Amino acid sequence: MQYRLGFIGCGNMAQAIAAGAIEQRVLAPTDIIASDPSDENRGVFSQWGCSTTHDNGEVAAQAEQILLAVKPQIYPKVAPDLSSALNDSQVLISIMAGLSSAKIAEAIGSPCRVVRVMPNTPAMVGQGMAGIALGGSAQAGDDALAKQLFAAVGQVVELDEPMIDAINAISGSGPAYLFYLAEAMEQAAAQLGLGEQARQIVAQTLFGSAKLLAETGEDPVELRRKVTSPGGTTLAASNHMDAKAVQPAIVDAIRAAYDRAKELGA
pLDDT tens, per residue, the chain with 266 residues: 799 999 999 999 999 999 999 999 999 999 999 999 999 999 999 999 999 999 999 999 999 999 999 999 999 999 998 988 888 899 999 999 989 999 999 999 988 999 999 999 999 999 999 999 999 889 999 999 999 999 999 999 999 999 999 999 999 999 999 999 999 999 999 999 998 899 999 999 999 999 999 999 999 999 999 999 999 999 999 999 999 999 999 999 999 999 998 887 77
Burial of 170 (0-12, 13-18, 19+ CB in 10 A): middle
C-alpha to C-alpha distance for 7 and 222, rounded to whole angstroms: 43
> Which region holds residue 120: left if phi is over 0, alpha if psi is between -120 and 50, else beta?
beta
In angstroms, the Cα distances linking 156 to 69, 101, 129, 173, 230 are 18, 19, 6, 16, 39
Q: Which has the closest alpha carbon to 252: 169, 194, 176?
A: 169
C-alpha to C-alpha distance for 41 and 38, rounded to whole angstroms: 5
pLDDT of residue 85: 85
pLDDT of residue 237: 97
- Partnered with residue 92 across adjacent β-strands are 66, 114
Query: 98 with 262: CB under 8 angstroms?
Result: yes
Query: 98 with 264: CB under 8 angstroms?
Result: yes
C-alpha to C-alpha distance for 210 and 90, rounded to whole angstroms: 38
Q: pTM of this prediction? A: 0.91
Strand ranges, E, within the chain: 3-8, 32-35, 51-53, 63-68, 91-94, 113-118, 128-134, 154-158
CB count within 10 Å of CB 19 equals: 18
In angstroms, the Cα distances linking 246 to 16, 157, 253 are 33, 29, 10
Query: 3 with 64: CB under 8 angstroms?
Result: yes
Q: Any residues with CB less than 8 A from the CB of 206 and at least 6 apart, and which? A: 178, 181, 182, 185
Domains, the chain, ordered by start: 3-164 (3.40.50.720), 174-265 (1.10.3730.10)
**Between 12-23 and 39-47, two packed helices, what is the crossing angle to 10 degrees?**
0
The residue type of 4 is R
C-alpha to C-alpha distance for 35 and 56, rounded to whole angstroms: 6
